Amino acid sequence: MTPRSPEQALAELRAGNLRFVTGVPQHPNQDAGHRAAVADGQHPFAVIVGCSDSRLAAEIIFDRGLGDLFVVRTAGHTAGPEVLGSVEYAVTVLGTPLVVVLGHDSCGAVQAAREGVRTGAAPAGHLGAVVDAVSPSLLRAARQGIEDLDGIVDVHIAQTVETLLARSGVLAERVAAGRCAVVGMSYRLSGGEVRTVAQVPAPLPAPSAPADADAALAS
Ligand SMILES: [Zn+2]
């Protein structure tokens, strides 16, 4: 059964990550029968706004399959217009009840931004856009006296959660209505586990939150 509340969706992700971490993945919804079943429509229960890092494959680390996760990945999980539009599509058209910002330790994009801030040198080509998008988190971390890379990553994850809500009125409305939640998680490359860094709202709406009428109509 597809989770329809933020709380149920988060529980499903946590359960899948635990299976992955402990080495007992079920690889659900990856068989030919399910592939055929979802060909006519999708009802993903979570949006993952994750870093593009090759070690952060969403369906693997949450032990999910086809049709489960709506995944948007950029280096450093940035929140530019196309990312925001993709999130809004999932939340409004598909009725997805949970948005997860997924960062990780030793993030290369955060490292590049830190280097850019430190040296004042602009990276070549479009990499500069990534550095520009991550840099505000660097400054925020500096104001908080946070200097270690993984501490900065946590700040950047929380900043991305806030940025999504600040830039997307549609998402903020859904969250205010209890129909969606935004959770920031940090993934540990060596251990494979995720840790919650930020959550809006906290606590999550109860499972009895109003059903998402749009979801039933989406195809
Ligand atoms: Zn990264």
For position 60, what pLDDT does the model report? 98
Instruction: For residues 93 and 23, give the distance between their C-alpha atoms in angstroms, rounded to a whole number.
Output: 35
Q: Average pLDDT for residues 18-26, to the nearest whole number?
A: 98
In a domain, 175, yes or no: yes
In a domain, 33, yes or no: yes
CA 102 – ligand 1 centroid, Å: 9
CA 106 – ligand 1 centroid, Å: 7
In a domain, 215, yes or no: no
* pLDDT tens digits, 24-49: 999 999 999 999 999 999 999 999 99
In a domain, 217, yes or no: no
CA 105 – ligand 1 centroid, Å: 8
In a domain, 211, yes or no: no
In a domain, 28, yes or no: yes
For position 207, what pLDDT does the model report? 58
Boundaries of domain holding 102: 6-205
Angle at 125 between CA 121 and CA 127, to 5 degrees: 70
Say whether pLDDT at 23 is over 80: yes
CATH of the domain at 80: 3.40.1050.10
CA 88 – ligand 1 centroid, Å: 23
Task: Label residue 193 exposed, middle or buried (CB < 10 Å: 0-12, 13-18, 19+).
Answer: middle
* pLDDT tens digits, 100-135: 999 999 999 999 999 988 898 888 899 999 999 999
* Better pLDDT: 200 or 2: 200
Beta-carbon neighbour count of residue 40 at 10 Å?
Answer: 7
For position 206, what pLDDT does the model report? 63
In a domain, 214, yes or no: no
Question: How does residue 204 score in pLDDT terms, banded at 50, 70 and 90?
Answer: confident
CA 24 – ligand 1 centroid, Å: 26
* Total count of domains within the chain: 1
pTM: 0.92
In a domain, 189, yes or no: yes
